[in-house]
Structure 1
Amino acid sequence: MRDIQTREDLHLVMSSFYDKLLSDDKINFIFTEVAKIDLKPHLLELVDFWEQMLFDTGDYKKNVLQLHLDINQKTNLPQEHFDIWLNYFNVTIDENFSGPIAENMKTRALSIATVMKIKMQH
């Protein structure tokens, strides 16, 4: 299996990942009812974010932490939601890619989720 290399690879990961999230009734309401995401542009923003994180390219400018703090104000995001999110994230990457960039993406996701959870407790 090859490593993540392109924007198209990131789009594949994000699309497959969101298919899993939106199929899970324990967590899908956060995206459909609370955040009310418009999936197509949301996926492109996520690709922009990860392209910047992994390849230092792209022009993602939003404050990821603040966006999630705002959602947490609308509905509490418990540890279970972070665990579900991280599990689907890691599974999706592992189903499609293998290599140092894929591992870096999983490590960064864990770091981001950990920081968000800590900030939400304050």
Structure 2
Amino acid sequence: MSDLADIKNLDDIKLLVDSFYAKVREDNLIGPVFNEKIGPNWPAHLERMYRFWQTILLEEHTYSGSPFPPHKHLPVEKEHFNRWMEIFTETIDALFQGKLAEEAKLRAKNMAEMFFYKIEYFRNGGRNFFEN
């Protein structure tokens, strides 16, 4: 039995986000994509991610806007999303256990799938890749 606690406050969100993105930045597959896009703006990106997850998980409405547009033209494929999800899940499982930890993994999975399908949609000139 693990003695990990659940996500319960902003400090936990910051620990999650900082730990996750430290791994992302060093990853051979997705690190270059993130580092190229974000460049020297990591502090601002991390602050935005704190607010995003604080809004999603703690229902403290500190994030506004649409998370998809900055991702619309990224050079990513399905394996990038799979790796992102793998790192996210590993990070959660190493740090937390409980209802909100599971909710975070579910929300991340749903978001990754949606982003992948939207990116493919725009790459195909606005056509759904399920269409002929």
TM-score for the superposition, normalised by structure 2: 0.84
Q: Which moved more, 1:103-112 or 1:28-37?
A: 28-37
How do residues 92-111 of structure 1 correspond to structure 2 at under 5 angstroms? 92-111=91-110
Q: Which runs of 5+ in 2 are unaligned?
A: 122-132
Task: Look up the SS of the partner of 2:35 in the other structure.
Answer: helix
Following the alignment from structure 1 to structure 2, what is the Cα–Cα distance between the partners of residues 54 and 60?
12
Aligned AA (1:22): R
Choose the corresponding residue for 1:13, options 10, 16, 21: 16
Quote the Cα distance in structure 2 between the aligned partners of 1:37 and 1:109.
Answer: 25
Distance in 1, matches of 2:111 and 2:22, equals 21
Three-state SS of the structure 1 residue aligned to 2:117 is helix
- Equivalent residue, structure 2, for 1:119: 118
Residue 121 of structure 1 aligns to a residue in which SS? helix
Change over 3 Å in CA distance of 1:112–1:14 after alignment to 2: same
Any runs of at least 4 consecutive aligned residues in structure 1 with deviations exceeding 2 A, and if so which?
34-37
Identity %: 31
Secondary structure at the counterpart of residue 68 of structure 2: helix
Check whether the contact 1:22–1:28 (CA below 8 A) recurs between aligned residues. Answer: yes
Partner Cα separation in structure 1 for residue 99 and residue 40 of structure 2: 31
**Which of 1 and 2 has greater Rg?**
2
Report matched runs for 1:33-112 at 5 Å: 33-36=36-39, 38-69=41-72, 73=73, 75-112=74-111
Backbone CA RMSD of aligned residues? 1.2
Contact 1:22/1:31, CA 8 A, preserved across alignment: yes
The structure showing larger relative contact order (alpha-carbon pairs under 8 Å, at least 6 residues apart) is 1
Per-residue deviation, 1:37? 5.3
Q: What is the aligned length?
A: 118
